[in-house]
Each structure stands twice: as C-alpha cells, then as structure tokens.
Amino acid sequence: QSALTQPASVSGSPGQSITISCSGTSSDVGSYNLVSWYQQYPGKAPKLMIYEGNKRPSGVSNRFSGSRSGNTASLTISGLQAEDEADYFCCSYAGSSTSLFGGGTRLTVL
Amino acid sequence: QVQLVQSGAEVRKPGASVKVSCKSSGYTFSDYGITWVRQAPGQGLQWMGWITVKNGNTNYAQKVQDRVTMTTDTSTTTAYMELRNLRSDDTAVYYCARVQFNRNWLLWFDEWGQGTLVTVSS
C-alpha cells in the first residue's frame, strides 16, 4: 500500500484559512468515512485533531474542520494562529483491518 | 486521566531484536486496541499494526509482518511490540496509541505514548 498523498508544505498568515488535502484511492479514503487527522510538534507525539472525517475530540478548537469528497479528504484551519505551526498527518482505514497514513504536511504560519 | 507510558530508548546492532513496552492507565484496557506507529528521522508516520486487547487478535502491515510481534499483558495493562532481525532503516521513534475500533475496523487513535527511540547501528 502506498501512503496517502499530502502536500509537503502549506503556509498562511495569521487570521487566514488554509486547507491541507489528503488524496487516497477508492480502496481507502473513498470507501470509508474514517479519515482522522493528527497534529505533531517537533519532538512530540501526534495529537488527534479530527476523527471520522469531520468530528472534533473534546478540547480541540472549532477552527479545525474536516471534509471529504470522493477519494480526497481535507483539513481546514480557519483563523490561523502562530500555535498552529506544526506537521499534520492524515490517516485512513484501508480495509482488511489496516490503516494508512499520509506523508505529512508542514504548516508554516508566516 | 488516560496515559500511555513507553519504555526508554534502545540501541541495537543489525540482526538483533528489540522489545518496546507501553504501559496504559486511566481506562479499561480491554475495551480498546493498541496500535504501533513508527517515524524515521525527519520522515512521516508509518502504521505497523495493531492488537485487539480483549482477544489478542493482531494484524500487521505487510512491510514488517514477517519480523514483528505485538502482544499485551492484561494483568499489568501493558502492550509490547517486538521487532526482530533489525536493519539500519528500522531506526525510528516508535509510538503506541490507543485504538478506537468497531468489529475489526480501526476508527481512530485517540491517545498516544511519548515515543521510544530505537537506534540500529553497528
């Protein structure tokens, strides 16, 4: 299985909105609404930000939202803040009791 | 509160084995699964496999399935990941995470350990 495809980097200014895409196939993202998104700061463990495509765990800001269209999932961060600068990874259920991660996207807040 | 605490950093020579532990607390251990994810230096996350604590069922990623074994000890609420025949490209930080699942579908990973650095070097 190949990793899901994410842009290597995105950037935005404080207050703006950005969107990170996560492209898969009809065997993973397109077949299951089970995409999750994780935020990771350097040297730290990942943190769950979005699950089941568009749900937020308790404590995660409502500036984070998720969506899916066909074989592509997206994470949108609105009202960008300096603290949002981190790496973001998508993950999808891929059938047969397996999961698949994206390659990761580094978000830079200008 | 929920915590997953992993064992400390390890250094191994090529061909050796390593066993990383992940001690869980703050929740009912058998109600969830445990997955293992690794991250090579400067690279992305790679899913390695998972174990259903209640019945011990496992499923491994193709890339490591011949060399990895995941187990749990419910008496100590600890999960283990053993990787054998280590190679230099196994050098990575290894994370355990709690799995929310339904039947044998992995849904999401909601709590993570702090990571364990495994270095493979001659």
pLDDT in tens, A4-63: 999 999 999 999 999 999 999 999 999 998 999 999 999 999 999 999 989 999 999 999
Tokens 């609404």, residue?
A33
Q: Are B32 and B99 in contact (CB under 8 A)?
A: yes
Distance in Å from the first CA to the final CA of chain B: 40
Radius of gyration (C-alpha) of chain A in whole angstroms: 13
Predicted pLDDT of residue B81: 98
Q: Which of A45, A51, A91 has its CB closest to that of B115? A: A45
Q: Which of B44, B100, B107 has its CB closest to that of A3? A: B44
Predicted pLDDT of residue B105: 87
Q: What mean pLDDT do residues B29-38 have? A: 97
Q: What mean pLDDT do residues B35-63 have? A: 96
Please give the C-alpha separations between residue A32 and each of A10, A27, A71, A94, A96, in angstroms, as whole numbers.
26, 8, 10, 8, 12
Average pLDDT in chain B: 97
Q: What mean pLDDT do residues B1-8 have? A: 98
Over chain A, what HEC string results?
Answer: CCCEECCCEEEECCCCCEEEEEECCCCCCCCCCCEEEEEECCCCCCEEEEECCCECCCCCCCCEEEEEECCEEEEEECCCCHHHCEEEEEEEECCCCCEEEECCEEEEEC
**By CA distance, what is A88's nearest residue in B?**
B44
> What number of residues does chain A have?
110
Residue B40: strand, helix, or coil: coil
> Are A45 and B95 within 8 A, CB to CB?
yes
> Are B46 and A101 within 8 A, CB to CB?
yes
The letter for the amino acid at B33 is: G
- Whether residue B85 lies within 8 A of chain A, CB to CB, comes out as no
> Are B47 and A34 within 8 A, CB to CB?
no
The answer on pLDDT for B97 being more than 90 is yes
> Are A101 and B108 within 8 A, CB to CB?
no
> Are A36 and B113 within 8 A, CB to CB?
no
Residues 6+ apart with CB under 8 A from B29: B53, B72, B74, B77
Other C-beta atoms closer than 10 Å to the C-beta of B63 total: 13
> Are B61 and A98 within 8 A, CB to CB?
yes
Q: What mean pLDDT do residues A90-101 have? A: 96
Which of the four pLDDT bands, split at 50, 70 and 90, describes residue A2? confident
**By CA distance, what is A37's nearest residue in B?**
B108
